[in-house]
Structure 1
Amino acid sequence: MKISTMAYYSHVSTGWPSLDTIIDHLRRGDNVVWQVDSIDDYQRLVTPFVNSALARNERVVYMRFARHIPLVEPRDNIVVYHLRTENGFESFSAEVHSIITRQGRDVCYVFDSLSDLQHVWATDLMIGDFFFITCPYLFELNTTAYFGILRNRHSFKAIARIRETTQVLIDVYNYQGQVCVHPIKVQHRYSPTMFFPHIKKKDELMPVINSVEATRLFSYLADHQAVSAQRRLDYWDRLFMQARSLLESGAGGAEKKDMVEQLSRLLLTRNKRLLSMIRRHLGLEDLLMIKERLIGTGFIGGKSLGMLMARKILTQDRAFDWSQVIEPHDSFYIGSDVFYSYIVQNGWWKLFMAHKTRTGYFSRAAELREKMLNGVFPEEITEQFQLMLEYFGQSPIIVRSSSLLEDAFGSAFAGKYESFFCVNQGSPEKRYEKFEEAVRRIFASTMSEDALAYRLQRGLDQMDEQMALLVQRVSGAYHQRFFYPELAGVGLSYNPFVWKKGMDPHAGMIRLVFGLGTRAVNRVENDYPRIVATDDPLVRPLAGMHDIRKFSQHYIDLLNLEQNDIQSLSVQELLEKQRPEKFDLLATRDEEADREMRRMGRPQKDIWILTFDLFLTRTSFIDWMKRMLSRLEKAYEYPVDVEFTVNFNQSDQLQINLLQCRPLQTIGDRSRVFLPSSVPPDRILVRMEGNFMGGNISQPISRIIFVDCQAYAGLSRSEKYSVARLVGRLNRQIPDREKMPTLLMGPGRWGTHTPEMGVAVHFSEINHIAAIAEISYQDGSLIPDLSFGTHFFHDLIETGIFYLAIYPESPGVEFNARWIRSLPNALEETAEEDTRLSHVVRVVDTAGLGLKLQSDVAGQRVICYRE
C-alpha cells in the first residue's frame, strides 16, 4: 500500500483522464510543451491541468508575460507573477530563475505562450536558449510545467531544440471540427498506440489506427503544415525580409519609420536618447546594410552604433563634403545574442546566475571568466566566422568589444573590455584559431574585476550587459614587413585641460600619435603623445626643447607581418630599418642632439623628435577635426569623444578614418572659485598653475594617502605591487567620498602596468578617492602622464575625481611634502597588517586641520592649503 501511494504522488494529472491514460500520466519533473494553432486551444489545455492541481491541494504558479489573454485567473493557492520582457533575455531569464528558486520543489507551473517572446526578442535562438536553461532547472526541482508555442511561428531548428530539451511535446490540431491530439515525445514511457494522433470523441481520445482515417488525417496534417520556405528561417530573418520588401515596395515614409523604430529596438539600442538620434539620422536602408554584415542576432552594441551614427551624421552635413575626407569603413558585427548563447550552450548559465548574486558577484565571475576562455561556439556561428575571415583574406583586422552599455550616455566603459588585433597571417586554420581566441578573450573580459567594479559602482550590476563585437579591417598601409596608419588619435569636442589663459575649452583637443592608436587611448610607459588644442595647435603645455624631447613619443606600435603580432619599436629603430614617406611632416630634426653628438665625437646620425608641427600647420587636418567635432557635438547635443586614424591615399590626399564616437563625460562647469591671494607658505601643501583637471572646485580634504616618491623608488618590484594592493585596501575603507574626501598622492603614473613608472593600481582600487595627484620624481624616472583622452581619463571624469600633476622641480610650483611627513602616520590603525610599508605609505588624517583643495579654471590656478 505504501509503494502504491508513493507511485501515485509521483504521477501528475493533465486534468484530462483520457490523455492521462494515453501518455501514462505526467511525471514529476516533466516539462510539457503544447504546440497549438491558437491561444484558445492552449487555454483549454491549461484549465483542466490547473483545476486538477488545485484539487490535489498543490501550489500553482502562473508566469504571466505575454500580450494574449490571461490563461489563469487568480484563485486561492495560485500565485501569479507579472514578468517584464522588454529589458531583455538576461533580466527575464534571471527573474524566472529567481522565482523558481524561491518557490522550491513540487510546484505546478503555467507559462504564457513562448511565441509571444518573438515580439521583444525577435529571434528563435533566444527563445530556445531560455527554454534550454529553464527546463532542466524545473526538472531538477521536481516541478511540472506547461509551455505553449504557436504552430508555424518558429523555425524547424527551434522546434527541434525544444523537442530535444523537453520531456513531453504534444501537437494539438483542429481537424474537421474535432480536436486532434498527437503526442510527439513522451520521455521514458511507451505504448503501442501512444504516438498515434488521437481524435476527441466526447471526452475520450481515440487513436487513429484505421488506415483510411489515418491517410485522410495525415494528408490534412501535411497540408496544414505546408508553409513557405520562410518557415525554415528564424523569425529574425523573416522580419528583415519584410523590411527589405517594404523598402523595395516604395512604401510611404510613415511605414518605413515604423519599421526603423521596430528594428532599432532589436538591433541598435533600447536607450531612449539614442533612439531619438536614430530616428533623426538613420533610415531603413542603413539598418538593412547592418544586417548584411551581422553574424548571429541581437544588438550590435554601443561602439558599433556610435561609429555608424557619427559617420551618417557627417554624410548628412550639407555644408561640407565628408565623402572626400572620411575613409570608408569595412566592418562586421557579431550580435549580442551570440554572447548569451555561448554561455548557455556551454552549460554555464547556473554559474552566470550565481555571479549575479551579492555573494557571488566577484568570486563566481572569476570562475566563469576562466571557463569562457575555453568554450566552443555553435556550428552555425563558426561557419559565419569562417566566411567573414575569407572575406578579409590576409588583411589585418581588429576585434573590438561593443557591449550594450558601452559608449552610451553616462557610461563609456572606456578600456574596461578588451580589443585584439589579429595580424591575420599564416594558414587559414591558424588565422581562424587566432580570431576565435580573440572573441573568447573579449567575452571573458566582461567578467574582469575592473569591469565588474565599474558596473557595480554605477548601479549597472543587475542590468543586461551582453557583449557584441565590432570586427574592423585595420586602417593603415603596408610598410615592407610592417603595417600601421600614418597617425592615430583621440579627439575631444570639449577640452578639459586648457593649460593657457585665453584658450577656449569648447574648441576641443586632440591626442595624436604616430602609428597604431594604442598609444593614444592607453597610458603607455616611457611615452607621451602630442596634446593639441585645436584653437592653438602649436602651443604646448610644456616649454623648452628639453621638455619637448622628454615629453614626446619615442616608440611606435605597429603590426609585424613576419612575426604575426603587434609590436612596439623605438622610432629610432624603425628609422634605421625604413623611413616612412611622410615622416618629414611628423617629426623635427633634433639639431641640439646633433651638435652634442658632434661635440662628443660620436658617429653622426639623424635624431628626430615627433612634434607633428608641420603636419598640424601644412595640412587641413586641424580644420577638418574642428569641423568634425563641432558637427558631432551639435548632433549629439553633448560633447563627444572620437577615435580616428589618418592615412594618405594613392592620390596623396589626406583621409581620416572615424573609428569610434561616444558621448564625452564631463565633470561640468561650476561657478568660478576665487582662490585666496595671500596664504603663508607654511600653510601651503600644493600651489601651482595648470596641469590639473576637474573644473572649478572648493573641496575640503579630511585624509591624505601619500606614497613617498623616494622610498617607493627604492622598493623591489614585488614590494611595489604590494603598495598598489595596500592602496586598494585603503580605498575600500573610505565609506563615502563626501564624508571622507581623500587626496591620493604618489609618484609617476597611477594605474600604470609597469610599477617602475608609478603605482600599478587597478582603477577599482582608487575609485573612492576625491582627488588624485601624480608627482614627478626625476631620480626614478617617475613622471606623470597628462593622459587626457585616455581610458584612465574617462574613469576619472566619470567618477568625478579631481586630477593634478605636480612637478616639484618646475618654477612656480610649491609642494610641501615635508609637512605630510611631519604628521602622524595612521597606517597602523587603518591597515595593521601592512605596517612594514609605513616608510613608503603614509595615511594622514586632516579632518581637523582645515585642509582645502581649490582650483580656478579661468585663472588656471590650483592650491591645497590649510585655512
Structure 2
Amino acid sequence: MQDQEALERYFAWDPREDEDFRPMIVGEGSIGGKGRSLLYAARRLWSSGNELLTSVRIPPSLFIGTGVFQEVVDQLGGQDRIKELVGDDGTRVEQAFLSAKLPPTVTSAIGSFLATVEDPVVVRSSSVLEDSIKHSFAGKYRSTFLMNRGSMEERIRAVEEEMLRIYARTFFPTAIGYRKKHNLGDDMMGIIVMRMSGRWRGRYYYPTTGGVGYSRNVRRWTTRVRMEDGILRFVFGLGTMSTKRGYARTFSLTNPALRPEGSNPYKIMKHAQERFQAIDGNTGELVTLDVKEMWRELLRWHPNLGIFAQLYTVDGDTGYFSSVDYSTEIPNSYSKVCFTFEDFPKKCRVFFDRMRAMLPILEQSMGVPADIEYAYEPAEDQLELLQSRPLWIGGSAVGSAKIPDITGRKVILMADRMVTDGVLEDVKYLVYVDYRIYGSGPDFHSVARGIGYVNQSMGENRYILVAPGRVGSSNPELGVPVQYNELTQCACIVELGIPRSGHMPELSYGTHFFSDLETDNVMYMPVYDGEKGNLFDQDWFDQAAYVEGPHMAIRIYRGSFSVYSDGTENRGVVVVNRVDPPCDC
C-alpha cells in the first residue's frame, strides 16, 4: 500500500523552499510533523488544477521552527538537566519552562501575526517525531486555544506562555513513556499558531461542522462499502468532539447515505449527536452546548439547520424523524432534536465531490494513506484544511487474515462488522466488564482505574478486554472511561452493544484512542447482542470460572483464548480453548 518513491519525495520536501510558505516560518530548524505535512498538502491541492481543490484554504498561521525550542532548552541547562526535574505530573518541568524567555525575533513575529488576526487562535504542538508514518502522538503533547483578547502585549504574552507549556510537554511522563515504549528517543518541538476555524454566532464561536477524514476505510460496517473509497467522521460545531469517543456522524464516501447504525429511526437517534462544542465569548471557555435546549437559537444563525438536525418523535416502540424549523413543536419529553445530518449528502454534494477528489490526491502524493482534519461552512462551501498526515493502518489492512475451521470449538463472541484483520492464539487472559454492574454505577471511573490495575498486574502477559459500549469514551455513560496508557498489555478490545442497557459501540475513526490502537496493532471488534451475525454468550461469562478484579464489575478469566478476524468478510470470533481454575491474578 506504500509508494516508496512518492514517500521519499514527501519526506524530502522543505516548505522553506516554497516562496508562498517561507514568510510564514520563523526560527531555524524543522517546523515539525504537523506543520510540514499541512503545508505539503496545501501545495499539492493548490497545484492540482482541480477547482474543487484549489479553493481549499488553510487558516492564517505562523510556524515556529525547532531552533527556538533548542534555544529555550539551552537556557534551562540542556535536556539532561531538564530530565532531572521530571516527576509524576510534570509540574516542575512546566514551571522551569515558564521561567524561560523566547527570542525577540519570535516575539516580534507573533505580534505581526496577531495584528492581522482578531479571532481566537490555536497554539499547536508540531514535534519532529510527529513527522512519522506510524506514530501520530495523538493526544500526547498539547494544543490549546486562546481568546486572543486584551492589549497586544497581553495577547503576545499569552501565546508565548502556551508555547512554553507545549515545550514542557516534551518532557512530561506521558510523552516520555510513549517514546520509550516505541523506542523513539528524544524529540524536538515546533509550534503552529493558527487562527481557529469558525466565526462568532452571538456569544459563541465555532465552525458549522468539523471533523476528520481518511483515504482508506479499513473498518467497514458492511461489504457494500469499499476500503479504498475513504471515510469521514464529523460533528456540528468544533471538531474537537470528533476526536473523542462521543457521538459523531460517519460517512462512507462510497455511499454517504449508508449508515453504520442502519436505518432504524430509534438506532439513528441513539447514535446521533445531541451536544456540540463552541467557545463562549462571555467566559472565554470551551463549552458543551445541548442542541435540545438551543435549537431555536441555532435557527437564527443557521436557517438551513434542517440539513443537520431533525426532530425525533416517539411513536410506540420506535419513532420517526421530521424536519426542524421555527414552527416545530416538541410533542413530549421523550422526543428531541438531534444532529442526524440526514439531508447533508443531498444538500452538500459538492463537499463529498471535493473529499472524493482530495483524499486520493493526498494519498498519492505522500505514497501512503492520508489522514486529515478539517472545518467546513456549507453556506459558503468553504473548507479549511487543519491537518494532513500519513495514516498508519498497520495490521488493519484487510486481506491478511482468515478465520480457520472452528467447527466444534467454543465460540463466545462473534462480530459481523468493523473488524480488523488479525489472528491471536493462546491468549492467557480475558478481562470482562459486566454491563449489568457497570450500568448500575455511578463509580464508572473506579471501574476504569480497576482495569488499569489489572493491566499493570499482567506483567508481560497479553489479554482480551470485553466491555460494554465505547472503551475509552470521555462520557462514562457510553462506555468505560479507561485511558489508553491503562491498556498497554491489551491485545484485543471487544466492545459489547447491549441495547437494553444503552451501551453501543461506535466506529470511532479519528479519535486519539483509535490512533493508538492502530499504532500498537491492537485488534478490535464490536459485538451487537441480539443482532443477526453476532453472538454474546452471556451464559458462558456467568458460568465459567473467574476471579473478581479490583472492582466487582471486573472479571478475570484464565486459560487459553483465540481471536480470529477477517476484514474482507467482515467477520470476527473469540474462541475458548481452555478455562483454568480460578487463581489470584
Does TM, normalized by the shorter one, top 0.5? yes
Structure 1 CA distance, aligned partners of 2:25 and 2:16?
15
- Please say if 1:841 is aligned against 2:554: yes
Structure 2 CA distance, aligned partners of 1:368 and 1:823?
49
- Please say if 1:540 is aligned against 2:259: yes
Q: 1:349 to 1:440 in 2, by over 3 A?
A: same
Q: 1:817 to 1:552 in 2, by over 3 A?
A: same
Structure 2 CA distance, aligned partners of 1:323 and 1:601?
41
2:340 to 601, 608, 611: 611
Aligned to 1:333: 63
Structure 2 CA distance, aligned partners of 1:546 and 1:479?
31
Structure 1 CA distance, aligned partners of 2:259 and 2:426?
32
For residues 310-337 of structure 1, give each alpha carbon's deviation from its aligned partner in whole angstroms, at most 9, with x where no partner exists. 111112224x134653124311012222
Partner of 2:130, secondary structure, is coil
Per the TM alignment, residue 759 of structure 1 is displaced from its structure 2 partner at its CA by: 2.6
2:367 to 612, 637, 645: 637
Code of the residue aligned with 2:277 in structure 1: it is: D
Aligned to 1:317: 48
Code of the residue aligned with 1:801 in structure 2: it is: V
2:9 to 269, 276, 279: 276
Q: 1:548 to 1:312 in 2, by over 3 A?
A: same
1:511 to 230, 233, 254: 233
Code of the residue aligned with 1:774 in structure 2: it is: E
Partner of 2:224, secondary structure, is coil
Structure 1 CA distance, aligned partners of 2:129 and 2:346?
38
2:423 to 697, 716, 719: 697
1:707 to 400, 408, 433: 433
Structure 2 CA distance, aligned partners of 1:449 and 1:276?
34
Q: 1:284 to 1:707 in 2, by over 3 A?
A: closer
Per the TM alignment, residue 367 of structure 1 is displaced from its structure 2 partner at its CA by: 5.3
| Structure 1 stretch displaced more, 476-485 or 707-716 | 707-716
Per the TM alignment, residue 865 of structure 1 is displaced from its structure 2 partner at its CA by: 2.1
Structure 2 CA distance, aligned partners of 1:315 and 1:751?
38
Structure 2 CA distance, aligned partners of 1:475 and 1:601?
32
Which runs of structure 2 are paired with 1:153-172 in the superposition (5 Å)?
A: none
Aligned to 2:178: 454
Code of the residue aligned with 1:563 in structure 2: it is: T
Structure 2 CA distance, aligned partners of 1:840 and 1:283?
53
1:746 to 439, 444, 467: 467
Aligned to 1:559: 279
Contact kept? 2:563, 2:574, Cα under 8 Å: yes
Aligned to 1:799: 520
Code of the residue aligned with 2:56 in structure 1: it is: I
Code of the residue aligned with 1:857 in structure 2: it is: G
Structure 1 CA distance, aligned partners of 2:253 and 2:372?
14
Contact kept? 2:125, 2:143, Cα under 8 Å: yes
- Please say if 1:343 is aligned against 2:73: yes
Code of the residue aligned with 2:35 in structure 1: it is: S
1:673 to 376, 385, 402: 402
Partner of 1:378, secondary structure, is coil
Code of the residue aligned with 2:195 in structure 1: it is: R
Q: 1:513 to 1:427 in 2, by over 3 A?
A: same
Percent identity over paired residues: 27
Structure 1 CA distance, aligned partners of 2:475 and 2:235?
21
Aligned to 1:500: 222
Contact kept? 1:425, 1:561, Cα under 8 Å: no
Contact kept? 1:700, 1:741, Cα under 8 Å: no
Per the TM alignment, residue 459 of structure 1 is displaced from its structure 2 partner at its CA by: 0.5
Aligned to 1:163: none
Structure 2 CA distance, aligned partners of 1:283 and 1:435?
23
Per the TM alignment, residue 789 of structure 1 is displaced from its structure 2 partner at its CA by: 2.0
Contact kept? 2:6, 2:364, Cα under 8 Å: no
Higher strand share: 2
1:292 to 23, 38, 44: 23
- Please say if 1:409 is aligned against 2:133: yes
- Please say if 1:764 is aligned against 2:481: no
Code of the residue aligned with 1:818 in structure 2: it is: D
Q: 1:760 to 1:591 in 2, by over 3 A?
A: closer
Q: 1:407 to 1:767 in 2, by over 3 A?
A: farther
Aligned to 2:582: none
Contact kept? 1:372, 1:440, Cα under 8 Å: no
Aligned to 1:623: 353
Code of the residue aligned with 1:529 in structure 2: it is: A
- Structure 2 gaps of 5+ residues are 578-585
Contact kept? 2:423, 2:564, Cα under 8 Å: yes
Which runs of structure 2 are paired with 1:570-609 in the superposition (5 Å)?
A: 570-579=290-299, 580-590=302-312, 602=331, 607-609=336-338
Per the TM alignment, residue 779 of structure 1 is displaced from its structure 2 partner at its CA by: 6.4
Aligned to 1:468: 190
Partner of 1:276, secondary structure, is helix
Contact kept? 1:315, 1:322, Cα under 8 Å: no
Q: 1:545 to 1:595 in 2, by over 3 A?
A: closer
Per the TM alignment, residue 427 of structure 1 is displaced from its structure 2 partner at its CA by: 4.1
Aligned to 2:387: 660
Aligned to 1:181: none
Structure 1 CA distance, aligned partners of 2:482 and 2:171?
18
Larger radius of gyration: 1
Contact kept? 1:701, 1:743, Cα under 8 Å: yes
Which runs of structure 2 are paired with 1:55-134 in the superposition (5 Å)?
A: none
Code of the residue aligned with 1:310 in structure 2: it is: A
- Please say if 1:855 is aligned against 2:574: no
Q: 1:711 to 1:351 in 2, by over 3 A?
A: farther
Give the superposed CA RMSD: 3.2
Structure 2 CA distance, aligned partners of 1:744 and 1:284?
47
Per the TM alignment, residue 714 of structure 1 is displaced from its structure 2 partner at its CA by: 3.8
Code of the residue aligned with 1:578 in structure 2: it is: L
Aligned to 1:359: none
Partner of 1:308, secondary structure, is helix
Contact kept? 1:301, 1:467, Cα under 8 Å: yes
Per the TM alignment, residue 811 of structure 1 is displaced from its structure 2 partner at its CA by: 4.6
Structure 2 CA distance, aligned partners of 1:406 and 1:573?
40
Code of the residue aligned with 2:414 in structure 1: it is: R
- Please say if 1:687 is aligned against 2:431: no
- Structure 1 gaps of 5+ residues are 1-270, 356-361, 828-834
Aligned to 1:425: 149
Q: TM-score, normalised by structure 2?
A: 0.86
Structure 2 CA distance, aligned partners of 1:275 and 1:446?
27
Contact kept? 1:282, 1:312, Cα under 8 Å: no
Structure 1 CA distance, aligned partners of 2:547 and 2:381?
58
Higher helix share: 1
Q: 1:687 to 1:291 in 2, by over 3 A?
A: same
- Please say if 1:816 is aligned against 2:526: no
Per the TM alignment, residue 777 of structure 1 is displaced from its structure 2 partner at its CA by: 4.7
Q: 1:607 to 1:425 in 2, by over 3 A?
A: farther
**Higher relative CO (CA 8 A, sep ≥ 6), structure 1 or 2?**
2
Contact kept? 1:368, 1:447, Cα under 8 Å: no
Aligned to 1:92: none
Structure 2 CA distance, aligned partners of 1:572 and 1:457?
44
Structure 2 CA distance, aligned partners of 1:662 and 1:283?
15
